[in-house]
Structure formats: structure tokens, C-alpha cells
Amino acid sequence: MKEIKNNFSRNSSAENKRANFIYELVGKVVDKKLKTDKNSQLFYQLTVVIENYPQVKAIKIFPNNLTKQSIWKEIEQSNYAGKEYLFCCKNYMGLYNLVDWKELKDHGSN
């Protein structure tokens, strides 16, 4: 019987690296909407203005993807207003999903 080689290992490794890549986006939250995905999981969709990736207009936030659950509470309470952030996101099929963020103090001021 002829052995069949698995050619998926190379591709899955490259896909895995891309899936785990963290995009660092600098910007502000303009608006938020609470939504539900096809599995009835709640998530927030943030409308954002990003300085270093202006093509990014939205970031999704799923509670199970966050490194700190305090981020979810900050979004719920709208504690992001008027603040600039470094958004750490993973890209999943062209959509940016937040995993962490850091408030930038005095960013861009002299």
C-alpha cells in the first residue's frame, strides 16, 4: 500500500503564525454596539479611528479572547471616551479582534 504524505502541516503552520500575530493599532473609540454572533455569544463592535492603519474601521471584542476581563467592564461602562489606546488585536478573516489594550497618556502632545 502506498503511503500518502500529509501536505497540510506546512500550510497550517503558516496559518497558525498569522492567526497568532498581534496587530498594534493606535487610535480612539468613536462608538460601540453590543451584538450577538451566530452562536448567540455577546460581543462588542467598536467603531474606531486608527492612526497607523486607517483602513481599520471596526474592532470586535469577545470576552473569552481578552487577556484582562477588566477591559470588558471598561467597554460596558464606556470608560474609553476621549482616550487614545494601543489596541492589540488578532486578525481573523479580515476582522480585528481585541485581545488587550493600553491607554496612551499624552500621546502626540508636546
Chain centroid, CA 39 distance in Å: 19
How far apart, in Å, are the Cα atoms of 27 and each of 49, 87, 107?
5, 8, 10
pLDDT digits (tens, 9 = 90+) for 38-77: 999 999 999 999 999 999 999 999 999 999 999 999 999 9
pLDDT for the residue numbered 5: 41
pLDDT at position 108 is 55
Mean pLDDT (the chain) is: 85
* CA separation for the pair 90, 97 (Å, rounded): 5
Instruction: Tell me the domain boundaries of the chain.
Output: 30-104
- What is the per-residue pLDDT for 12? 53
Q: Return the bridge partners of 60, or none.
A: 45, 97
